Chain A
Amino acid sequence: MSALDATFTALADPTRRAIVARLARGDATVNELAEPFDMSLPAVSKHLKVLERSGLISRSRHAQYRPCHLEREALDVAADWIEENRRIWAERFDKLDRHLRDIQRAAGPHEEEQAR
């Protein structure tokens, strides 16, 4: 699985998206993150592990409460993938639009040959 796949898989879960949204407001401990959810600490930790593996968050190795930190660049990479694919289809379809015009003009009922 590529890094990007891991990012998307991590974001496919609503709880993990909520965690990411919370971390966008600033670093937080596991306890702080568990608070808004009706969920045990081990369950939250499981989600955090998935997010950590995907590179979306990091956790301090030193501080006692190991606060979680959002890695914004990883999120940007995912947003970029969508933007990039949108651009590709837009450019393809601009060309297809022209192509359809060309062939329909060539085969049109009025036989408008654009001979120069």
Chain B
Amino acid sequence: MTDNTPGADELIFTRVFDAPRDLVFRCMIEPGHLTHFWGPAGVSAPLDEITVDARPGGVFESVMVSDADGSEYRLRVIFDEVVEPERLAWTDPGSGMTTTSTFTDLGGGRTEVRIHQTRVPAPMRSPEAQAGFATSLDRFAAYLAALSGHEGGTS
């Protein structure tokens, strides 16, 4: 069963860290760690604004503050699954987007973290859609780029 081909509505992102699995897992659920990395580049996640209730139904809330202009963005998701130290899953009730993080012990103090995000709520996705996701948006984008040359005047 291979699910390495992301579909039109999903994202898979994998990274290997030189750290034991327990520690990497704790980094993802403890505010004291999250504050160091949760905001992407140019964005900070203040410690006193991070709430993590790591159990199914619990809330994970954080505020992202732009370093450039101080603008804020609040992130609030609900945990679906907390299986220490293997798996974390949460849903954004606003968008219906789910995020599943899988932690794999690679041995030698190395850990692989795999992030799987799906945009469309599961009940809205047909089995065929889930099976046939090989036609990704990336392919469409390449397709469109290749074809746009021919069609000068249609717009």
Taking the nearest CB of chain A, how far is it from the CB of B71, in angstroms? 16
Contact indicator A97/B17 (Cβ below 8 Å): yes
| Distance between Cα atoms of A14 and B130 in the complex (Å) | 9
Cβ A99 vs Cβ B140 within 8 A: no
Interface mask (A28-70 → B, CB under 8 Å = 1, otherwise 0): 0000000000000000000000000000000000000000010
- Interface of chain B, main secondary structure: mixed
Contact A79 to B137, CB < 8 A, known contacts A11-B8, A12-B129, A26-B151 = yes
Smallest beta-carbon distance B130→chain A, Å? 8
| Beta-carbon contact of A12 and B140 below 8 Å | no
Main secondary structure of the interface of A (DSSP, over half): helix
How many contacts between A and B, using CB within 8 angstroms? 119
Pair A5/B119 contact, Cβ less than 8 Å = yes
* A24 & B11 in contact (Cβ 8 Å cutoff): no
Check if B13 sits within 8 Å of A90, measured CB to CB.
yes
Whole-angstrom CA separation of A85 from B13 in the bound complex: 9
B133 CB, min distance to chain A CBs, angstroms: 9
Interface string of A59-90 (1 = CB under 8 A from B): 00000000001001001101101100111111
CB of A26 to closest CB in B, whole Å: 6
Distance in Å from the Cβ of B58 to the closest Cβ of chain A? Answer: 21
Contact pick for A86, options B13, B37, B95, B148, CB 8 Å:
B13
Are A100 and B154 neighbours in the complex by a CB distance under 8 Å? Answer: no
Q: Specify the chain A residue showing the minimal Cβ separation from B141.
A: A79
Known contacts being A2-B95, A91-B41, A100-B17, is A8 close to B138, with CB within 8 Å? no
Asked, given contacts A95-B36, A96-B17, whether A5 binds B96 with beta carbons under 8 Å apart, the answer is yes
Write the residues of chain B forming the contact surface with A, with a CB cutoff of 8 angstroms. 6-9, 11, 13, 15, 17-19, 23-24, 27, 33, 36-41, 95-96, 113, 115, 117, 119-120, 124-126, 128-129, 132, 135, 137-138, 140-141, 143-144, 147-148, 151, 154
Binding site for B on A (CB under 8 A): 2, 4-5, 8-9, 11-14, 17-18, 20-21, 24-27, 69, 72, 75-76, 78-79, 81-82, 85-101, 103-104
Question: Could you list 9 A-B pairs, sorted by A, with CB under 8 Å?
Answer: A4-B119, A11-B137, A20-B140, A24-B144, A79-B141, A82-B6, A92-B40, A97-B17, A97-B18
